[in-house]
Amino acid sequence: MNIAVLGTGIMGAPMARNIARAGHDVRAYNRTRAKAEALATDGITVADDPTHAVVGADVLLTMAADADAVIALAEQLPSGDAIWWQAATVGIDGIERCATLAEERGLTLVDAPVGGTKQPAEQGNLQVFASGPDAALDACTPLFDAVGSTTLRLGDTGAGTRFKLVFNHWLLGLVENLAETIAFAEAIDVDARGFVEILAGSPVGAPYVGIKGPAMVDREFDTSFPLALGAKDARLALEAAERHGLELGLMPVVLERFERAIARGHGDDDLAAAIFGSVD
């Protein structure tokens, strides 16, 4: 298949590479061209603008920071009968905006955000939360297989986005709880590193503790997913809950702590920099 990948940041670039390695023809576009140029060594054509990237494409893949960035890309797409795989986390309002635009342009929208960060994206081990028309999902299955280890088919367009919001609610709560617990351990002179090691291997722990815990203890952040985007995802969860008449108790605290760490200059650092929302 011919694939156009629009947005080649931390997630989009490795997804483009894995799709190309699976034997598909890939053209890529990124607003900052320098971020896409390295893809040329993988046989991927780097386009100067979205219009050139999508010429003749069977599937248009968008992976940008938020709904506004996705829509800004998609508004430059020509009308046609291609499939638009929207893979970013854009929230309920965002996917509805995408659906409206897709209908206007004659595109078939596949709402399939992905779970995972930089390393799983590089390894082709993302989780794909796919929703949309069955025929379009069937057509995209080879692409899902190229970028992910697991694909959930969840029903009509919008179901993937809602599932991703729930997934992120759990993940962000886990990260903040870990950050605060490490801060608590340090404050009362408990060996935080030893605690993380025990927790990572405990039935009450989680594998993610072994990934983010050491980074929090060492205050070393190789960005696999920026904290600023974690805050964006927390806001999307809160917006979705409010829309459905549910008052979340944990997520406002998570967002407040993330924003505190961002205000201290850690927005571009990895999600593990949430620790700076709990320590002075």
**Ordered domains of the chain (ranges, CATH):** 2-156 (3.40.50.720), 162-277 (1.10.1040.10)
Asked whether 59 and 15 are in contact (CB, 8 A), the reply is: no
pLDDT computed for residue 261 by the predictor: 98
- Cα separation values, 208 from 87, 114, 234, 248, Å: 22, 17, 18, 23
pLDDT computed for residue 76 by the predictor: 85
> Could you give the residue numbers annotated as active site?
164
pLDDT computed for residue 77 by the predictor: 84
C-alpha 154/C-alpha 132 separation (Å) is 8
Of 26, 18, 1, 24, nearest in space to 149 by CA: 18
Per-residue pLDDT of the chain (280 residues; tens, 9 = 90+): 999 999 999 999 999 999 999 999 999 999 888 889 999 999 999 999 888 899 899 999 999 999 999 999 998 888 888 999 999 999 999 999 999 999 999 999 999 999 999 999 999 999 999 999 999 999 999 999 999 999 999 999 999 999 999 999 999 999 999 999 999 999 999 999 999 999 988 999 888 999 999 999 999 999 999 999 999 999 999 999 999 999 999 999 999 999 999 999 999 999 999 999 999 7
C-alpha 275/C-alpha 280 separation (Å) is 10
C-alpha 104/C-alpha 109 separation (Å) is 11
For 41-64, the DSSP string reads: GGTPEEPSSHHHHHTT-SEEEE--
The one-letter amino acid at 82: A
pLDDT computed for residue 210 by the predictor: 93
**Sign of the torsion formed by the C-alpha atoms of 232, 147, 94 and 177:** negative
The one-letter amino acid at 227: L
